[in-house]
Amino acid sequence: MTTIGVLGGSGAVGRIVVDRLTAWELGKLRVGGRDLERVAKVCAQAPKAHTEPMRVDLNDRDELRGFCADCDVVVNCAGPSYQVLDRVARAALAAGAHYVDAAGDLVAIDALGDAPPTGLADRAAVFSAGLMPGLSGLLPRLLAVDGPPARLDIYVGGAAAIGPLSAVDALLTRGPRFGTALAAWRNGGIAPNALRPLRSVALPGFRGRVHAWPFLSAEASRLAAELGVEELRNYTVYVTEAIPRALAAAWADEDAPLERHVPAVAAAAEADLAATGPYYTMLFQAVHHDPAPGRPRRLELHTPDSYALSGVVAALTARDLLDERIPPGVHLAAEVLSPRETLTLLADDPLVTGVELI
């Protein structure tokens, strides 16, 4: 019987991975985390499935090895991702399993590349299988099916609670392997300081006035280069300026341990939630040189829960791996999932409250 390990299965992302994989009846689920009671509770909510709660601390080599043993796929939703890097991927591949990471990004791929595991000859490791990164690099491809747009604008954001673990990841999202603030992609390269924050603007699909911060992520640069767009602008959208302010204060305080700023980031996210309630919007807009009729120029996707939707993407990636639709090697989810099929599947998912492709 197929065995799928979901590490961090009691978290905001992991719970949905367990829920969807259970519903799709893909095999036995081994659900792991440090608090056995929490993972047992998640397993108990999936009575029909074969679920096995397991206590595991990913920082304990033997426990992690035991968790990955006999798995066909390991889905990692534990973190902080930018501290965990390739640790779980290596254990999964050593056990002969495929690997899916709801985050990870290029920094984890870099770490894995330092000493590539032999398991990659016939197994795949797929990183950034979430919403952003993930869908943010996948869905814009639907606006480029008839050739690259001259310009692509990406706006992703809204209001969501940020737990302590994800707050650490938000604070670690710094440096060129993550992206460049205020930069755009222009004519084949990164154009530094090309953009300014859009303060208090109205954007389609976002509630009230929002603040859009230009951040040319590494994912967006790869997308622009691959599609051959002349210009790409990538914005993270906030409903208040509380989060960018909290991040800026933390990054300015270089001597303090990162953890000291976690409560401020979490509180800023709460302030956003109080302002609008939970919602997340992905807006992609293309400008074509040849705006022929029928050529798509705008894609909008709405969800009340960006964390849970990341779990759906991670679960879809695990399913594609089990169906042998992803070749061996190391990948970003945005570069191996099918944009069309993913959008079709998401449109039917209860966590997606609206999709418009026009």
Ligand X SMILES: NC(=O)c1ccc[n+]([C@@H]2O[C@H](COP(=O)([O-])OP(=O)(O)OC[C@H]3O[C@@H](n4cnc5c(N)ncnc54)[C@H](OP(=O)(O)O)[C@@H]3O)[C@@H](O)[C@H]2O)c1
Complex with ligand X: residue 43 or 149, whichever CB lies closer = 43
Q: For residues 197 and 72, what is the distance between their CA atoms, to the nearest angstrom?
A: 45
- Going 345 to 346 to 351 to 357, the CA torsion angle's sign is negative
Contact residues for 246 (Cβ-Cβ < 8 A; gap 6+): 261, 264, 265, 267, 268
Closest approach, Cβ 294 to ligand X, in A, equals: 31
Q: 90 — alpha (psi -120 to 50), left (phi > 0) or beta?
A: alpha
Element housing 219 (H / E): helix 218-227
- Nearest-approach distance from CB 30 to ligand X, in angstroms: 12
Residue number with CB closer to ligand X (144 or 171): 171
Q: How far is the CB of 135 from ligand X (least distance, A)?
A: 8
* Cβ distance to ligand X smaller for residue 130 or 197: 130
DSSP assignment of 139-203 equals GGGGGSTTS--SEEEEEEEEE----HHHHHHHHH--STTTEEET-EEETTEEETT----EEEEE-
Helix axes 14-23, 36-44, angle to 10 degrees: 30
Distance of closest approach, residue 271 Cβ to ligand X, in angstroms: 18
Residue 179 burial class via C-beta count within 10 angstroms: exposed 0-12, middle 13-18, buried 19 and up: buried
Using the minimum distance from each CB to ligand X, give the nearer residue, 82 or 149: 82
Q: Which is nearer to ligand X, 58 or 212 (CB)?
A: 58
Looking at beta carbons only, is 74 or 165 nearer to ligand X? Answer: 165
Nearest to 286 by CA among 146, 189, 188: 146
Alpha-carbon gap, residue 331 to 109, rounded angstroms: 8
Report d(CA 67, CA 128) in Å as an integer.
22
Contact footprint for ligand X (CB under 6 A): 7-14, 33-35, 38, 56-59, 77-81, 102-103, 130-134, 163, 165-166, 169, 306-307, 310
Choice between 12 and 264, CB closer to ligand X: 12
Shortest Å distance, C-beta 144 to ligand X: 22
Nearer to ligand X, 149 or 206 (CB): 206
DSSP assignment of 38-73, as one string?
A: HHHHHHHT-TTS-EEEEE--TTSHHHHHHHHTT-SE
271 neighbors 242 (Cβ within 8 angstroms): yes
According to DSSP, residue 8 is labeled T
In the bound complex, what is the minimum distance in angstroms from residue 255's beta carbon to ligand X? 25
Nearest approach in angstroms of CB 336 to ligand X is: 15
Min dist CB 288 to ligand X, Å, is: 28
